[in-house]
Amino acid sequence: MHLPARWALRIALAVSFLFVFATQISFNTGAQEQGAQKPATGTTPAKTDPTGNPAPQQKLGHELDGPVIVNTDLITLTVTVTDTYGRYVSGLSQKAFTILDEKQPQEITFFSDDDSPVSIGVLFDVSGSMSGDKIKNAREALAKFIQTSHNSDEYFLIAFNSRAQLLLDKTRDGNAVLDKLTFVQTKNNTALYDACYLGVEKVQRGLHPKRALLLISDGQDNNSRYTFNELRRLLKESDVVLYGVGILSGGDAGSALGMEGQGILDELASVSGGKAFFPRSAVEMDDIFEQIALELRHQYSIGYKPSNFSNDGKWRKIKVKVTPPRGLPRLFVRSKEGYYAIPGAR
């Protein structure tokens, strides 16, 4: 049957309308199904930490109240690599490193050489033995350290004489740290070990995974509740790296007290994977503080899960080896020497 032209046109328009309507329904249904599977626009997928566990979410404008403890056997190390001239070597790949746990090679499961910020506890000796130019030169050198550090570093300032006192808690304002030390008066005895204890406690609650203490003192403790052995054990258990700067005058260096102070700073730094320095002049002190700041920015973070882990609480030795790329001379590695076999965040 042959329809008039006007009827054929109407039928064609009706069919076209039905086709568009059905397509729109199908599109909306598919979009709703996809929307149920994907996060809404503007949200961020959940992140994981190096262990594969969900990382804590942080709201904008708010700080986390403290560290989130993750029950894991992941061992994390902060590793410093230098050449024969003491220059920091960056850019090495994961393949260049070998981790031995109780002499057994381990598989590296986390590796980073990013210039990441640090939670830093500045422990400043204001006891009577730091009188004269010692404290003035140390403050000026600290300014060099802050200038060279990462812009997002987080500072905790602890001053100590007969007792340790927290002067600044969680600040990124380096000038505020220096301002607090402008008018301090040196007096009384030295509670160095107590200050280190407080420093470890504070930086472990910091925002950044990398944690360090900068201890500025002549190293002579005579008023702490904690003992040297207790502090040494704490540093071995923690993931905090301690750098000691011994502020010694000309007469201190060769004296019995001076030698004792150097030995204390050397040992505390060594067990944590850090280093102690003993400048002989204000110029050398400036260079040392700048050197420490550069080291914190040129370190490797390495993690692994021990293949032979045993929850027996015993001390387990770690050795980190590095194989230099072809053409490079021998490289030197510094890190923690071990850990206590207790499950938990390290």
| pLDDT digit string, tens, across residues 302-337 | 999 999 888 888 999 999 999 998 888 899 999 999
From CA 338, how far away is CA 344, in angstroms rounded?
Answer: 15
**Higher-confidence position of 73 and 125:** 125
**Higher-confidence position of 120 and 72:** 120
pLDDT value for 144 = 95
65 pLDDT band, cuts 50/70/90, is very low
246 pLDDT band, cuts 50/70/90, is very high
* pLDDT of 122 over the 80 cut: yes
| Tens-place pLDDT, residues 184-213 | 889 999 999 999 999 999 999 999 999 999
Three-class secondary structure of residue 334 per DSSP: strand
Q: Residue 203: which H helix or E strand, with range?
A: helix 192-203
70 pLDDT band, cuts 50/70/90, is very low
From CA 137, how far away is CA 283, in angstroms rounded?
Answer: 9
Whether residue 253 contacts residue 221, with contact meaning beta carbons closer than 8 Å, is answered with: no
Mean pLDDT computed over every residue of the chain: 81
* pLDDT of 157 over the 70 cut: yes
Strand extents, DSSP E, 218-306: 241-246, 275-277, 300-304
Q: Characterise 173 by phi-psi region: left (phi > 0), alpha (psi -120 to 50), beta (else).
A: beta
Count of all residues that appear for the chain in the document: 346
pLDDT value for 6 = 47
> Percentage of the chain with pLDDT > 70?
75
